Chains A and B, each alone.
Chain A
């Protein structure tokens, strides 16, 4: 604001251009200091003197100033047009992005990016990194969230776990809860994290999924013998569903092999309640709560990526923590 309208002062000329200036005799020293952003150039005092000494006629000054203003207008016009073009391009890109055909309820570029994020996270993932465990005394208040696939109470006596994709047989295997209880019991107190953003500390008891796998090994890719040491030969995925298939999750094998991934039958020292997924649920601290499926009806080893209830509704398939 300071000099734009001040007719008495000469406006500093455009960088490196001196044609037609009233200071033609010494154009460089008149314009150079203004050009540098660093300031304190050696020529600055000299330039100041030139300005003071030359004391141009008011008409010359006005001619010079109007020339500077004209150059500024040209420069501004060009810049604002480019700025506007950039804005239009950005708006166009945004519009393109948000109007792409959908994949799993979100435009495909977003889905592709979630999958890219998944592959990066998968590379960093290590089952040596454990989620923090807490003292059971730190257990938080009970919080129930989500009843998909839990429409009516399950009859725990007649409940059976259906296991598919086994090495031992082609058809499904039906297991009672005793089969899980027979596996080494693991207790852990971890922070359950809901995708909505809340978290609560819960004490769990159950069996490691790796122990379950050792007892009920999957059909390998090669068809050879099962070994946890040959992860690349294992099915890449596990899918789980409630008995009524009302809720289902897909899980990557790396996360299933994590030592804190449990098939749980107890929560905070009590057998699972109906609303928390009796008689058996998944607890997997490397995933958001949505993957911690309640009331497991089916466990299926899968070589293809399984569908996932929430991934079909706009969420990330992986949701790895």
Chain B
């Protein structure tokens, strides 16, 4: 029985999850009012963000005012939780497990190959492997990106320099949208990996402890 995730990290994780979900959902209500993004070229559209059926199923339409009210309420909690999390990892030293190093990228490729059953080697017995380090640090940087692009489109006149830095008002809005999509992709992969890793791993994110055999424990 080995401590894995501190109470603080578990708290930040589980608070962040509903907050980010609320930010994405209220963002969707806002996006609906000018839903111009698509995958395609010229007159050919492969996928429209988002199809009418999607809006209808989830009741997305005509919620701009509500979406903005929610977005500009929950943003405070989302940002506060994010700042506290980063501060915690810095001051507790937990960042050492999380920030990728020069080996992480090679290792991340091996992890991906391993998980796709293309490589049969042994993965490192560390708290977070290279792929996890990149993912968990990357998602924090994404959060930072969302705050910066969000601020820019929130106050484009007063923060004109930020808009210029991001390539213009329209560009900043698009970047903000892309990051929202990226969270959803992160979520899909994250859930798949959590399911793969199994109960012991998931339980550790709730209880903080995982069961390991003494032999393995000594490797830590």
Q: Report A-chain residues with C-beta under 8 Å of the C-beta of B213.
A: 2-3, 6, 9-12
Between B2, B3, B31, B206, the greatest number of chain A beta carbons within 10 A of the residue's beta carbon is seen for B2
Name the distance in Å between B157's Cβ and chain A's nearest Cβ.
4
Is A36 a contact of B220 with CB atoms below 8 Å? yes
* B127 lies within 8 A of chain A by Cβ: yes
Give the segment of B68-76, B140-148, B183-191 that binds chain A.
B68-76
| Docked CA distance A2–B213 (Å) | 8
Q: How many residues of B contact A (CB 8 A)?
A: 52
Is B218 a contact of A131 with CB atoms below 8 Å? no
Measured CB to CB, the residues of A under 8 A from B are: 1-4, 6, 9-15, 30, 33-39, 44, 47-48, 51, 68-69, 71-72, 75-76, 78-80, 83, 86, 90, 105-106, 109-111, 113-114, 117, 121, 124-126, 129-132, 191, 193-199, 285-286, 310, 313-316, 320-321
Is B173 a contact of A197 with CB atoms below 8 Å? yes
Instruction: Give me 5 other A-B pairs in contact (C-beta within 8 A), A11-B214, A72-B1 excluded.
Output: A3-B212, A15-B3, A47-B214, A48-B218, A197-B33
Answer whether A197 and B1 are a contact pair too, CB < 8 Å, given A12-B212, A12-B217. no
Q: Report A-chain residues with C-beta under 8 Å of the C-beta of B52.
A: none
From B65, B209, B217, A106 is in contact (CB under 8 Å) with B65
Name the distance in Å between A209's Cβ and chain B's nearest Cβ.
16
Sample of 26 A–B contacts (CB below 8 Å): A1-B201, A3-B212, A9-B215, A11-B1, A11-B211, A12-B1, A12-B214, A12-B217, A33-B217, A35-B2, A36-B220, A47-B214, A48-B215, A51-B218, A76-B207, A79-B207, A110-B73, A125-B158, A126-B158, A193-B156, A195-B68, A196-B33, A285-B157, A314-B65, A316-B68, A320-B155
| Docked CA distance A229–B72 (Å) | 33
| Docked CA distance A124–B151 (Å) | 13
Is B65 a contact of A35 with CB atoms below 8 Å? no
Q: Report A-chain residues with C-beta under 8 Å of the C-beta of B203.
A: 76
Is A316 a contact of B69 with CB atoms below 8 Å? yes
Name the distance in Å between A45's Cβ and chain B's nearest Cβ.
8
| Docked CA distance A298–B61 (Å) | 34
Is A37 a contact of B4 with CB atoms below 8 Å? yes
From B200, B201, B207, A80 is in contact (CB under 8 Å) with B207
* B54 lies within 8 A of chain A by Cβ: no
Name the distance in Å between A182's Cβ and chain B's nearest Cβ.
29
| Docked CA distance A306–B121 (Å) | 70
Q: Report A-chain residues with C-beta under 8 Å of the C-beta of B214.
A: 9-13, 30, 34, 47, 51
From B72, B127, B199, B212, A316 is in contact (CB under 8 Å) with B72
